[in-house]
Amino acid sequence: QVPLKPGRSLMDWIRLTKSGKDLTGLKGRLIEVTEDELSKHNKKEDCWICIRGFVYNVTPYMEYHPGGEDELMKAAGADGTDLFDQVHRWVNYESMLKECLVGRMAVKPVAALKGLFTCSHKILGLVNNWNEVYFLKCSPNFVSFLPCVSGIFWHVTESYDWFQTDSLITVVIYTKQKDMNADLVIVDCQDKQLRGEIIMDDHSYLVNIDLDHAVSEDVAVNIAEKVGKVEIILNKKDNVHWKMLGQPCEGHNTFIKRTDRGLFYRKCKLVSKTEVTHDTKLFCLMLPKGTHLRVPTGQHVYLKHIIAGTEVVKPYTPVLPFLPLDFQEPPCHDGVHIYLMIKIYSHGLFTQALDHLQIGDYISVSNPEGSFKKSQVQTSEDLLLLAGGTGFTPMVKLLNFALTEVSCLRTVKLIFFNKTENDILWRNQLEQLALKDERFEVQFILSQPSKDWVGKQGKISSSLLSEFVKRSRRDSKVLICICGPVPFTEQGVQYLKDLGYSQEEIHAFTA
Ligand code: FAD
Ligand code: NAP
């Protein structure tokens, strides 16, 4: 992220797009753009970019781009789809850049082949890119999905099947993955639409069907972890015999990279909003009845909301409703609620809109994302957490997981950087937790303390880190997690490396 000039905020951009100004220079005409034509528009003052076959004139957007002009210029006059997917897959560019749309790329004869083509009535071929060719073999009740890399070798990955009783429909997905668990299965069933996504490392398998008959909102998910079998159990609304499961919808029965799959959102109801500090609130959202979704430790979701007619998307990291103070109780994953601890910025576009939501209002919540893996903690003996402001949010589930489920951990230390005492999130709970669990220690460091503050003060620095970040034994296995404002995180990682910690020992939470 780069600092934007005054008058160049997202809200200013939305205003400009609504002003009726001709942002493409084409007076509302849409054209077919050849590669030659696209490549000519490669300067800051005349910049076109192609994203997923659509060409945008991003010249007027340059100064509004949060990532800076140089970042946008990397795709000037070219196809920016990959660049865009790497950095801002979650940004709804269709909505954000709709007034900048120049037209579609002209289809070359060879490119036409990149779509879906039918080989016979039983075998469909789908060319995703030139290195990976997928074939779908279909029979009435059984569909298997066979990736064929460069046409040379084949191996079966996932498949699904379904069966019925008088009252139930069971969809069975055979993932053939041993460590399958509830965090990896996301199911949404609403209005005859069934969407089941199974996460397998950086790929996902999707079942997406317009069901033949209505089902009730109750959905159950059973997982046979050892064999990797996932059952999605639906309740028929009427006790009729189904002749077929339904019609396939977009992406049905595909196994593709997660980054190639669009983010799926469902509407969640705001059920409570409670104060955490003077500017931070705990929002509790309720998932729809037909949704099975758990946000894994260390991952975030995207919230989507329409602000002044434009879809705006921002990431947030779910927390727990409170810290694990009572270890007799199981970790609170009720599977129905998502808790978000959100700082409301007085000039913040999205957080102001969130703050104005009323109890009972709805907001769209995406599937989880993030690169953190629980296994990173499972083998650690010392866990060190460096948090700046709301960078504390990923640490909440991490603390819970570490203290309740990781037996080899000897020490867990949170070093929490804030401006003032009033900004410290869940201070009371953290202090109680430190009293209760002798493995846990918390250190508050303030950058703008009042004169009464007797604790540590300062900003993240090499000397502060060398004072607080230590292994409990000379050879202990350590994991250091860091999250906060981008420069805080970047500087912190550098200081840690300078102190001799390896890349594998550091996890930085970023978008
Ligand atoms: P904007 O309209 O973008 O900014 C308006 C003004 O607010 C800015 O000029 C600046 O003064 C201030 N401001 C905005 N964003 C920031 C910022 N990031 N840091 C410092 N000042 C800022 N936030 C949470 O509160 N809770 C979370 O759990 C959380 N999780 C996140 C997870 C990820 C992976 C990432 C990348 C960010 C997360 N954030 C979280 C930040 C969140 O996504 C938004 O950036 C934030 O809510 C501000 O949005 P806004 O539209 O209100 O502010
Ligand atoms: P804040 O209150 O502004 O800052 C928290 C502490 O960090 C303060 O002590 C502050 O000191 C210090 N700090 C701020 N900028 C710094 C910098 N450039 N260098 C060194 N120290 C710095 O923080 P916030 O408003 O809560 O923002 C939290 C940030 O965390 C947001 O940017 C949010 O996007 C990010 N976040 C990321 C994730 C994720 O998973 N990636 C999750 C949650 C939050 P001074 O300001 O006094 O210098």
* pLDDT attached to residue 136: 34
pLDDT for res 227: 77
Tell me the CATH number at 254: 2.60.40.790
Asked whether the beta carbons of 283 and 325 are under 8 A apart, the reply is no
Question: What pLDDT, on the 0 to 100 scale, is given for residue 326?
Answer: 66
**In the predicted structure, residue 84 carries a pLDDT above the cut 60:** yes
Most confident residue range from 14-28, 154-168, 184-198? 184-198
Domains identified in the chain, total number:
4
Q: CA–CA separation, 503 vs 491, rounded Å?
A: 14
> From CA 391, how far away is CA 19, in angstroms rounded?
37
Picking from 450, 438, 444, the residue whose alpha carbon sits closest to that of residue 411 is 438
Angstrom distance (rounded) from CA 46 to CA 57: 8
* Domain region containing 198: 160-260
How many other CB atoms sit within 10 Å of the CB of residue 86? 9
Q: What is the mean pLDDT of the chain?
A: 86
Query: Are 55 and 30 a contacting pair, CB within 8 Å?
Result: no
Q: What is the atom index within ligand 2 of the atom nearest the CA of 484? A: 30
Quote the pLDDT of residue 108. Answer: 63
Q: What percent of the chain is modeled with pLDDT above 90?
A: 66
pLDDT at 304 over 50: yes
Q: Which of residues 369, 397, 413 is at a domain's end? A: 369
Examine residue 137 and state whether it is found in any structural domain, yes or no: no
| Co-location of 405 and 462 in the same domain | yes
Pair (176, 221) in one structural domain = yes
Considering the domain architecture, whether residues 304 and 365 belong to the same structural domain is answered as yes
Q: Are residues 251 and 277 in the same domain?
A: no
Residue after which a domain boundary falls, among 369, 390, 415: 369
3-state secondary structure 137-187: EECCCCEEEEEEECCCEECCCCEEEEEECCCEEEEEEECCCCCCCHHHEEE
DSSP-based helix, strand, coil % in the chain, nearest 5: 25, 40, 40
pLDDT band, residue 98 (cuts 50/70/90): confident
Region 172-197 average pLDDT: 91
Of 329, 311, 381, residue with least CA distance to 10: 311
- Of 85-89, 140-144, 443-447, which one has max mean pLDDT? 443-447
212 in a domain, yes or no? yes
What pLDDT was estimated at residue 132? Answer: 32
∠ at Cα 181 (179, 186), nearest 5°? 130
| Mean pLDDT, residues 337-349 taken together | 96
pLDDT digits (tens, 9 = 90+) for 234-276: 999 998 999 999 999 999 999 999 888 889 999 999 999 999 9
Q: What is the CATH number of the domain that holds 385?
A: 3.40.50.80
How many CB atoms sit inside 10 A of residue 381's CB?
Answer: 17
Q: What pLDDT score was predicted for residue 329?
A: 52
Residues 338 and 278 in one domain: yes
Q: Is the pLDDT of residue 90 over 60?
A: yes
* Residue 240, CA distances (Å) to 165, 168, 303 in order: 10, 10, 38
Counted residue by residue, the chain has a size of 511
First-to-final CA distance of the chain: 11
118 found inside a domain: no
Nearest residue to 54 (alpha-carbon basis) of 73, 75, 74, 27: 75
- Provide the CB-side half-sphere exposure for 494 (13 A, CA): 8
- Ligand 2 close to Cβ of residue 331 (< 6 A): no
- This model's pTM is above 0.85: no
Give the helix ranges, DSSP H, for 42-115. Answer: 69-73, 81-88, 93-96, 109-112
Closest-lying ligand to the alpha carbon of 508?
Answer: 2
- CA distances from residue 128 to 150, 254, 255, 257, 364 in whole angstroms, order as listed: 12, 11, 11, 11, 29
Which atom in ligand 1 lies closest to the alpha carbon of residue 11? 2
pLDDT at 5: 86
Residue 139 burial by CB count (10 A; 0-12/13-18/19+): exposed, middle or buried?
Answer: exposed
For position 157, what pLDDT does the model report? 55
Q: What's the pLDDT at 158?
A: 66
228 shares a domain with 322: no
In a domain, 155, yes or no: no
Q: Is the pLDDT of residue 148 over 50?
A: no
98 in contact with ligand 2, CB cutoff 6 A: no
Q: What's the rounded mean pLDDT across residues 221-237?
A: 90
For ligand 1, which residues put their CB under 6 angstroms from it? Answer: 10, 300, 314-317, 340-343, 345, 347-351, 390, 393, 485, 511
Give the span between the Cα atoms of 336 and 286, in whole angstroms.
6
Read off the amino acid at residue 394.
P
**316 or 84, higher pLDDT:** 316
Closest ligand to 422 CA?
2
**What is the SS3 assignment for 490?**
helix
Nearest to 395 by CA among 355, 365, 440, 353: 440
pLDDT, average across residues 30-58: 93
254 with 271, same domain? no
Q: Are residues 26 and 69 in the same domain?
A: yes
Per-residue pLDDT tens digits for 471-503: 999 999 999 999 999 999 999 999 999 999 999
Instruction: Report the b/e string of 197-215 with b at 16+ CB within 10 A.
Output: bbbbeebbbbbbbebebeb
Q: What is the pLDDT of residue 110?
A: 46
Q: Mutate which of 351, 363, 447, 490 to test ligand 1's pocket (most atoms within 8 Å of Cβ)?
A: 351
Strands (E), 10-115: 31-33, 42-43, 46-51, 54-57, 78-79, 101-105
- Judge whether 251 lies within some domain: yes
- What does the pLDDT look like over 285-303, one tens digit per residue? 999 999 999 999 999 999 9
Which pairs with CB-CB distance under 8 Å and at least 24 residues apart come from 493-499? 495/460, 495/461, 495/462, 495/465, 496/465, 496/469, 498/462, 499/462, 499/465, 499/466, 499/469
Of 105, 122, 138, the one marking the end of a domain is: 105
Residue 403 has pLDDT above 90, yes or no: yes
- Average the pLDDT over 451-469 and give the result: 95
